[in-house]
Each structure stands twice: as structure tokens, then as C-alpha cells.
Amino acid sequence: MLWYTPEEILGMLLAALVIDWLVGDPPWPTHPVILIGRWIKWLERRLRDGETPEWDRAKLKRRGTVLTAATVILSAAVTGGIVWALHAVHPWLGMVANAWLISTTVAVKGLKDAALLVYRPLAEGNLPDARKYVGYIVGRDTAGLNEPEITRAAVETVAENTVDAVVSPLFFALLGAAPLAMAYRASNTLDSMVGYRSERYLHFGWASARWDDVLNLLPARLTAWMLVLVAACSGSGLSAVRARRAVRQFARLHPSPNSGFPESAVAGALGVELGGRNTYGGLISERARMGWPLRPLGKDDLVLTVRLLYRVSYLIAGGCLCALMILKAL
């Protein structure tokens, strides 16, 4: 935001992280991401109203592009309007609004809570509940998964979302405070809702999926190297050397241009193999295998992955604090 200094932006990022660590994402019906999801559903219905088999893929792509552009622009504009109005009342109100709105785009605590919902029944040997809870956070079929496969699904999700729910929103918040962070969260929500390669969304969701890929190109690579760095400081059998080698060797094998970077870093750090065979709607999908199977995956790997997630957030907070101190000293 043009009226905030770099020190103020860094302070708002720090405050947003602290809010997320302490509060997380309360399931309020007025939560911005919930409102964005409702808007996407409403506009999709309008754009696809009267759809017939004669609609060609170019028409679906055009309408999907309208959905993407309208959602991203509206999210940024509404957020900017709220911040501007509160800033006009008092600059501190604008900063508080920025910090809170940025915190709603971040989900460190939410990811941890979702992962622990899977971990607890695994620790109790309750595979049916573990399958149920992992089904809440992954798109693959979970019926019949054994403990290593449940763990792999959860570990891959936490690794991938270290980009989507932590590094990327904070990266865009650094560039443009809450409006850009919310624009990113809108893009990511679009991808999660319509970016699937299913028959319904193959063309309509094309713009949403590609736009999300573009936005995550740099943050995904930054995340991989942050994971390497925090692995070096974490102990617990985590290896920064393996993480670095895994990123270089496996990251670009993933079908996503971005997901392979955090997933390969986590696989290397843990000394396990991620990727492999998944099933979506009964259809088998072979994904690139990342890392080396030095040992079998176990439920404790989920705890270690959450630990890496938190340490990435601590690294970002420490970077903000150091930058603040340097700017204050200049």
C-alpha cells in the first residue's frame, strides 16, 4: 500500500503471523475466504447458466477467465476499500485491519490442526478415522489407505500448503499489504474450487489453475530453500543436505510446476519417498516419486513435517524482525 512505510508493512506481517499462531482460522461465516468461496460458487452458476454440449472449449475458457479476473480484482478492491476507509478514520485502524486481513490469508495453525486430526487416530491405530480426516484435506480417494499412505497424503498436503497457506500470501502481503495478500488467497481459492482437471473444469478452470501456477512460481522455490535451511537447524534426524539434493533432482518431475519444490524438500529432509500412485474418482494416477526411501513412512513423519512448517513461519518472522531492526538503524 502506497501510504505505508516498509517498516509498517513488516510490522503488519509480524502481527499477522502472531494472530495466526494464536487464533488460526475461526470458522466464522464472515471469514473473507468463506465469502470468496461463496462468490465463486455464485458467479460460476451465472457464467455456466444455460450451458449446453455445443459450448466449445474456447467459450468455457473465456468464461472461466472472467471468473478468475472478476474474483481476483473484486477481492483486492474490497479489501483495499476497507483498509482505505479505516485508514481515513485513523492510520492505526488501517494498520490493524491490514494485520487482521493478512492473517486470514495465512493458515499455519489451521494446517497444524488439520494434520493433528489425522495424526491422533493414527497414533491410536484407528485407521477409519484417520482415513476420514485425511479425506478432508486431500482430493484423492482415501478408502482403504494404510498408515504409510495416509501419512504420505497428509505430509504431501502440509508440504504443498507451506507455499499456498504461508509463504505466498506473506510474499504478496510484503508487496502490497492486505489487498495483494487477499488477491492471492482469492486466486488460490479459485484453483482449489475450479482448477481440477476433471471433465467439468478442464476448460472452465484453466485460467484459474494457470494463474495460480504463475503466482506461486517464485514463492514455491523460496519455500524449498527455506525448508532446506530450517532442516539444517531442526535436528530430529532431518537432513538439509538430502533436502537440497532432493530439490535439485526431483522437484521438476512433479506434474505441477510448483508443488514438487516443497514436497521434494520435505521428502529429502525426512529421508522418505513421497509421490507414487494415487487414485482420484477411481482412476489411478502415477505421480513422480520424490526423495529416497531410506526408511518407511510413519505417523511421526507428519509431526516432523508440521515442525518444518512452523519453523518456516518462524524464519519469516525472524527475517521481518531483522529487517525492521536494520531499517530502524539506518
pLDDT score, position 286: 80
Please tell me the distance from the alpha carbon of residue 84 to that of residue 98, in angstroms, as a whole number. 10
Q: Residue 2's pLDDT is what?
A: 55
Q: What is the pLDDT of residues 162-181, one digit of tens each?
A: 999 999 999 999 999 999 99
| Window from 74-78, 84-88, 192-196 with minimum mean pLDDT | 192-196
**64 contact partners, CB below 8 Å, separation of at least 6:** 47, 194, 203, 204, 205, 206, 207, 208
Does residue 186 fall inside a structural domain? yes
Compute the average pLDDT of residues 77-87. Answer: 96
> Would you say residue 218 lies in a domain?
yes
**Per-residue pLDDT tens for 203-234?**
999 999 999 999 999 999 999 999 999 999 87
Residue 1 within a domain: no
| In a domain? residue 159 | yes
CA neighbours within 13 Å on the CB side: how many for 226?
25
Share of the chain above pLDDT 90, in %: 80
Q: What is the domain extent for residue 305? A: 6-329
State the Cα–Cα distance between residues 310 and 321, nearest whole angstrom.
16
**Is the pLDDT at 319 greater than 60, yes or no?**
yes
In a domain, 16, yes or no: yes
* Mean pLDDT of the residues in the chain: 92
Statement: residue 1 has pLDDT above 70: no
Q: Does residue 21 have a pLDDT over 60?
A: yes
As a whole number, mean pLDDT of residues 41-52 equals 90
pLDDT tier, 303 (very low <50, low <70, confident <90, very high otherwise): very high
Q: First-to-last CA distance in the chain? A: 22
Q: What is the pLDDT of residue 189?
A: 96
Per-residue confidence (pLDDT) for residue 74, from 0 to 100:
98
Angle between helix axes 168-194 and 206-232 (nearest 10 degrees) is 140
Tell me the pLDDT tens digit for each residue of 148-157: 999 999 999 9
Residue-wise pLDDT tens digits, 103-157: 999 999 999 999 999 999 999 999 999 999 999 988 888 888 999 999 999 999 9
CB contact at 8 A, 101 and 178: yes
Whether residue 320 is predicted with pLDDT greater than 80 in this model: the reply is yes
Number of domains into which the chain is organized: 1
